[in-house]
Amino acid sequence: MVLNCPVSNAISKPAQTIVPISSLIANRWSPRVFDITHELTHGDVLALAEAARWAPSSNNAQPWKFSILLRGSDEFETISQSGLTGFNQSWAPSSSAYVVVMADRLRPDGNEWDKGTVFYNAGLASAQVVFESEAMGLKAHYMGGIVHDEVQKVLGVDGVWIVNILAIGKQGDISSAPSELQERELAERSRKELSEIIVHGLVR
Ligand SMILES: Cc1cc2nc3c(=O)[nH]c(=O)nc-3n(C[C@H](O)[C@H](O)[C@H](O)COP(=O)(O)O)c2cc1C
């Protein structure tokens, strides 16, 4: 179900669930039309940072780093120009900020992290940033379509893997967006059936 939110002309696409779930989860989705005039306050940035910091992690190792880059900063603009791939280049630069999610390469004891473990931890922390954005009335969009080496160079960081970038901002009015973007924005959200992903536990 795609709804037009009357206040801002922003699209709402609540998940269709067979029982009610938390509105934070049901209402989160990944828009591509952001309000280019919206700016995050320093308080917003700190709230996103705290949401990331308080994620659980293996042995409480907290094997992650984040760069929060506001639109207009050199890093945001350079990543917009050369750090995104494909369609991401067309819509993400209108968001208010990028949160670059990084995973530590080395464990506290100096040995290499298993990449799967450390990415799992970093992914979990980034989900907290996404849900905090949602709670703040903003939207977040994960981007795996990035140029990892270029992002690493722009940030000047060592000892980490670049995992993902979250584009965060206020949803924009889709009526002035290009038609391809409007089409994607209006597309229905879909998911596999519960029976395809829940191996045990569905049948009483
Ligand atoms: C790890 C990850 C990487 C993603 N990479 C991109 C991306 O590069 N570009 C994009 O437009 N969407 C990207 N997405 C968003 C997905 O396409 C989106 O979450 C999925 O289609 C489900 O839609 P929904 O988030 O609106 O429910 C990514 C999502 C995740 C979790």
Distance of CA 67 to the CA centre of its chain: 13
Give the pLDDT of residue 6. 44
76 within domain boundaries: yes
Q: What is the pTM of this model?
A: 0.96
26 within domain boundaries: no
Mind listing the pLDDT tens digit for each residue in 77-108?
999 999 999 999 999 999 999 999 999 999 99
Across the range 41-51, mean pLDDT stands at 98
141 within domain boundaries: yes
204 within domain boundaries: no
61 within domain boundaries: yes
Which residues form the domain of 121?
Answer: 35-172
112 within domain boundaries: yes
Distance in Å, CA 76 to ligand 1 centroid: 20
Q: Whose CA is nearest to atom 27 of ligand 1?
A: 29
- CATH at residue 69: 3.40.109.10
Mind listing the pLDDT tens digit for each residue in 153-186?
999 999 999 999 999 999 999 998 999 999 999 9
pLDDT of residue 5 exceeding 70, the answer is no
Strands 64-70 and 10-12: unpaired
Give the pLDDT of residue 4. 60
189 within domain boundaries: no
Q: Whose CA is nearest to atom 20 of ligand 1?
A: 30
As a whole number of angstroms, the distance between CA 34 and CA 47 comes to 20
Count of structural domains, the chain: 1
